[in-house]
Homo-oligomer: A and B are copies of this chain.
Amino acid sequence: MEIIEGGVTAARGFFAAGVEAGIKYKNRKDMALVYSECPAVCAGTFTKNVVKAAPVKWNMKLIKEQDTVRAVVLNSGIANACTGMEGISYNEWMAESMGDALNIDKYDVCTASTGVIGMQLVKEPMSHGFKLLAQNMADTKEAGTLAAEAIMTTDTVSKEAAAVCDIAGKKVTVGGMSKGSGMIHPDMATMLCVITTDAVIEKSVLQKAVSDVVNETFNMISVDRDTSTNDTVLVLANHMADNMPVLPDTAEYNEFYNALKYVAESLAKKMAADGEGATKLLEVKVVGAESVNDARVLAKSVITSNLVKTAVYGSDANWGRILCALGYSGAVFDPDIVDIDIISKSGRLNLVKDGKSSGYSEEFAGRILSDSEITAVCDMKMGEASATAWGCDLTYDYVKINGDYRS
């Protein structure tokens, strides 16, 4: 697998566009399109929230009822969640209007919305936006970047990633874009992700790969109980790489899986690092857990602790908060044998040895925690399983941003 520049237009036959329709923000792109020149099999994962936005329901239906789609239309500013039957029909109008502009059926168009919830979509200026998207779409890297920019809400940077892998001599490309301010508040910072690939792969195989990859990546920056009403990951495969079909349990599958995982993981980490108000990327590695599930539960518990997040912000090696978060995770372990290390470009330091302070240097700990990328390693010494979670610190700006999110 080889990492390359680019996003949703990196794979063959994919076009994209991002335009300023003027839905909510001034002078800011707010509508995006991803289009495949031929039918693409589509797989996806969606929010587990009982409250599902209209576009989520639409995509779940499309993926259930048909093998392929041609396009994904996205908007920022309005989430079309908690909008009742009216929101459902607005969403269908969104798919239909985009389909008309592209001269394809509405059932070939997936939809995604992000922004304020409880508000209905606006026919104007969105009607104008669909036409603009159809006119502007291109298969250049620039077009992919414009699309990635158009789906930003509180994001401070656009998020793209791409990789190429070799499937039995054929070059297969995977590229994607996402938005979302990471696990710092996944309960509202809708996470949207569109990944495209030119791989030849059956829908069922693609769905399995996507589900497994999402559990290892996006779900590790977002705890299930915190999924938003709109969270969506869509993967389109348009078969243009002409590779022999990717089949489960083969070397080719692993090659494709790794490329897909690279794209998803790097998008996930970019989201975590871009958490609202965040100044630091925090990575929590749990090793020596009894099971993968335990490892994930433990890592998520630490990464979502407000106290750990504020301590990281304050560069305070308050390891008791990490041990405490492990303790209330629900996983069973022996607190008296746990080791905790912290790592950054400044070095590695053991804070906790067998559940107690190692007598480390506070000064060196403070230096490590002052870096912008920090890893905490928790060795449970219970087994062989491990998991990694990503998050960020909790800062004044988080409160500021969310204290007046709508203004």
Contact = CB atoms under 8 A, between A and B. Distances in A.
Interface string A286-306: 000000000000000100011
B118 A357 contact: yes
Contacts of A330: 225
A226 B48 contact: no
A291 to B, nearest CB: 16
B82 A328 contact: no
Copies of this protein chain in the complex: 2
Interface string A320-354: 11011111111111011000000000000000101
A169 interface: no
A49 interface: yes
Given A50-B327, A335-B51, A185 B228 contact: no
A395 B400 CA distance: 8
A311 B225 CA distance: 19
Contacts of A228: 324
Interface string A389-400: 000001110111
B188 A314 contact: no
A328 B225 contact: yes
A389 to B, nearest CB: 15
A185 B310 CA distance: 11
Interface in A371-407: 394-396, 398-400, 402-407
A321 B398 contact: no
A187 interface: yes
B320 A118 contact: yes
Given A225-B328, A320-B81, A328-B224, A400 B396 contact: yes
A83 interface: yes
A319 B333 CA distance: 39
Contact of A82 (B83, B226, B320): B320
A333 B352 CA distance: 43
A301 to B, nearest CB: 7
B49 A327 contact: yes
B229 A306 contact: no
Contact of A225 (B301, B399, B402): B301
17 contacts: A48-B328, A50-B327, A50-B335, A82-B335, A82-B355, A84-B355, A84-B356, A117-B324, A118-B319, A119-B357, A224-B328, A227-B328, A307-B402, A314-B402, A316-B403, A318-B406, A395-B399
Interface of A: 48-51, 79, 81-84, 116-119, 185, 187-188, 224-229, 301, 305-307, 310-311, 313-314, 316, 318-321, 323-333, 335-336, 352, 354-357, 394-396, 398-400, 402-407
